[in-house]
Chain A
Amino acid sequence: MTGLSDTPNIADADGFYQELLSAHENLSEAESHALNARLVLVLCNHVGDRKVIREALELAKRAG
């Protein structure tokens, strides 16, 4: 593995985005935060590579 991907990687980007939003539909703010937290954990486990995860954390922090 070489690190965090810089290239678009999600097929049907609009479809994905809609799916993400609809997962949060009808959730309270707290429930949405909890859903996001679970999602982060599941995805981080899937990625596994600590270097990639670290770069993702850095990018997310930098961008905010």
Chain B
Amino acid sequence: MVDVRYQTEFTLYPYQKVTEQDAPAPVRHPVAIIGGGPVGMGMALDLGLKNIPCVVLDDHDGVGTGSRAICFAKRTLEICDRLGACDPMVDKGVIWSVGKVFRENRQIYEFNLLPEDGHKHPAFINLQQPYFEKYLVERIHEVQARGTPIEIRGRNRVQALEIRDDHAALAIDTPDGPYEMEADWLIACDGARSAIRGLMGLSFEGRVFEDNFLICDVRMKADFPTERRFWFNPPFNPGQSVLLHKQPDDIWRIDFQLGRDIDRQAVVRPGFYEPRVNAMLEGVKWTPEWVSVYTFQCASMEKYRHGRVFFAGDSAHQVSPFGARGCNGGMQDVDNLAWKLALVIEGKAGDALLDSYHTERKHGAEENIMNSSRTTDFMTPRTGIAKLFRESVLDLVEHTPAMRPLVNSGRLSVPCTYDGSPLNGPDAPGLPRRTRPGSTLADAPVEGGWLIDRTGGTFRLLAIGCAAETVEANGITARVLDVAATDVIRSRYLGRARQAIYLIRPDQIIAARWTGFDADAVASAIKHATAG
């Protein structure tokens, strides 16, 4: 039996019996991905598009109903674009740039994010997570139709796991009963309560925040401006904070902070939330779409790789929702692991490369946890003095713009830089800091399109203002992309230098850079970036 643990919004991969279930001996797969949330599906797409056969096992048959992620950051859109799933997301998503911060009922300041020019994608979009997942799965169906080796098995729950010398053995339950499967590599994308983590007896440590939040997704047709509004201590939720965010389909997300020790049943009743929403929306007609309470923790596994098993997304690390770093961070796990695993499976890189998945993504997760914990500490001061400083910042911000940077109602999710990564190669003095080795490629308009579209998936060499040739090392090829030194390119890639060569990894991380082309130097940087 496979219990239904949650309702699904879209049924996307109904259970179908496969012949393997009746096979006399377990069938071996190169890669099994446990969990078909956004991270598992992204991982399958990335590996499948690299022609690595993979099977996704999910214990449901579609995308869970209910409100989770709504903010998807630019880097996530870039990754999804590389995977061919981004267009419907951006078409459906809501783009906003104005934010207003209120205290009680006074607006204390307004900001405009004014994203930097010269990027294909917006700083982020608001989109309900079920749509995000649906578009990933639809993209999988599209590429499956032309032979991409991805298989999704709905209502397949992993029940037991045994790690053997050269593979993992899985016991899986289905509506037709159990069967066994073997996999050379296992990627656990099975969420914050990861079954795989539990079966392997691995710990998940961190900090529990004892605050509660009520999500009210409401539908309203009002001409409410597309902006983010955040209140400290508003009359409709005294002593706590409130966040209002727009989503597609005339849906608005309202987050009411509730504090500790609440009656979880009482707050989801209309008698509790209706008067609050009414007071907040001042006469605008609305209907509730989804109401639930959540609490959160920030936690991380100690290691994201355990031999043949990798942990990615919420199974590896969990952050508070403030700052939108959960799913966004998980998609960067996908970006980081897929190319490394593909190279190792193809025999073009050694096993040590896979250790760098842990090193790099743990670094990213720690930064995400730090940022979302800081936001939470501002929004929910834990001690009297923390509250005093928070109130002092808010008192001052009404009198001087100098205090605005201290007001923390959530920070934009941006990718970390892998400073000190073992994969980083040489840097050249004088080039801009933002594109140092370990950084994510900074997009820019280039002839015929965008830099972000012309890179990714394989190693590439950017030749800016000078000539270069294709370089091959260990069977890995880096083809040249000639880039003209426009103003944007100059400010992001050249600084005061007249020319530069950049080596870009398949995940669009800058691996190394020079101010002139030297084929041997590039070849050894490719070897270094794939050695781990």
Instruction: Flag whether A34 is at the interface (Cβ < 8 A).
Output: yes
Instruction: Flag whether A38 is at the interface (Cβ < 8 A).
Output: yes
Instruction: Flag whether A60 is at the interface (Cβ < 8 A).
Output: no
Complex Cα spacing A27 to B406, Å? 26
Instruction: Flag whether B392 is at the interface (Cβ < 8 A).
Output: yes
* CB under 8 Å from chain B, chain A span 26-64: 33-34, 37-38, 41-42, 45
Instruction: Flag whether B396 is at the interface (Cβ < 8 A).
Output: yes
- Number of residue pairs A-B, CB distance < 8 angstroms: 22
Interchain CB contact under 8 A, A41 and B388? no
Complex Cα spacing A25 to B154, Å? 71
Interchain CB contact under 8 A, A41 and B403? yes
Min C-beta distance of A40 to chain B, whole Å? 8
Complex Cα spacing A45 to B395, Å? 15
Interchain CB contact under 8 A, B402 and A34? no
Complex Cα spacing A17 to B59, Å? 69
Instruction: Flag whether B467 is at the interface (Cβ < 8 A).
Output: no
Instruction: Flag whether B224 is at the interface (Cβ < 8 A).
Output: no
Closest 3 CB pairs of A and B: A37-B392, A38-B392, A45-B402
Complex Cα spacing A45 to B396, Å? 12
Interchain CB contact under 8 A, A37 and B403? no
Min C-beta distance of B392 to chain A, whole Å? 4
Mark contacts of B443-481 with chain A using CB atoms, 8 A cut-off: 1 yes-contact digit, 0 otherwise. Answer: 000000000000000000000000000000000000000
Complex Cα spacing A42 to B389, Å? 12
Min C-beta distance of A39 to chain B, whole Å? 9
Min C-beta distance of B405 to chain A, whole Å? 9
Residues of A within 8 A of B395 (CB): 34, 38
Interchain CB contact under 8 A, A41 and B391? no
Interchain CB contact under 8 A, A42 and B396? yes
Instruction: Flag whether B393 is at the interface (Cβ < 8 A).
Output: yes
Interchain CB contact under 8 A, A37 and B402? no
A-B contact pairs, 22 of them (CB 8 A): A33-B388, A34-B388, A34-B391, A34-B392, A34-B395, A37-B388, A37-B389, A37-B392, A38-B392, A38-B395, A38-B396, A41-B389, A41-B392, A41-B393, A41-B396, A41-B403, A41-B406, A42-B396, A42-B400, A42-B402, A45-B402, A45-B403
Residues of A within 8 A of B392 (CB): 34, 37-38, 41
**Contacts A34-B395, A38-B392, A41-B403 given; 19 further ones with Cβ under 8 A?**
A33-B388, A34-B388, A34-B391, A34-B392, A37-B388, A37-B389, A37-B392, A38-B395, A38-B396, A41-B389, A41-B392, A41-B393, A41-B396, A41-B406, A42-B396, A42-B400, A42-B402, A45-B402, A45-B403
Residues of A within 8 A of B403 (CB): 41, 45
Min C-beta distance of B394 to chain A, whole Å? 10
* CB under 8 Å from chain A, chain B span 284-318: none
Complex Cα spacing A41 to B389, Å? 8
Q: Which of the listed residues A34, A38, A42 has the most CB atoms from chain B within 10 Å of its own CB?
A: A38
Min C-beta distance of B400 to chain A, whole Å? 8
Complex Cα spacing A17 to B406, Å? 29
Mark contacts of B384-425 with chain A using CB atoms, 8 A cut-off: 1 yes-contact digit, 0 otherwise. Answer: 000011011101100010110010000000000000000000
Complex Cα spacing A29 to B523, Å? 68
Residues of B within 8 A of A38 (CB): 392, 395-396
Residues of B within 8 A of A33 (CB): 388
Complex Cα spacing A41 to B407, Å? 12
Residues of A within 8 A of B406 (CB): 41
Complex Cα spacing A46 to B400, Å? 12
Min C-beta distance of A38 to chain B, whole Å? 5
Complex Cα spacing A33 to B395, Å? 14
Residues of B within 8 A of A37 (CB): 388-389, 392
Complex Cα spacing A37 to B389, Å? 6
Complex Cα spacing A7 to B245, Å? 51
Min C-beta distance of A1 to chain B, whole Å? 19
Min C-beta distance of B233 to chain A, whole Å? 15
Residues of B within 8 A of A34 (CB): 388, 391-392, 395
Min C-beta distance of A50 to chain B, whole Å? 13
- Closest residue of chain B to A30 (Cβ to Cβ) is B388
Q: Which of the listed residues B392, B395, B396, B403 has the most CB atoms from chain A within 10 Å of its own CB?
A: B392
Residues of A within 8 A of B402 (CB): 42, 45
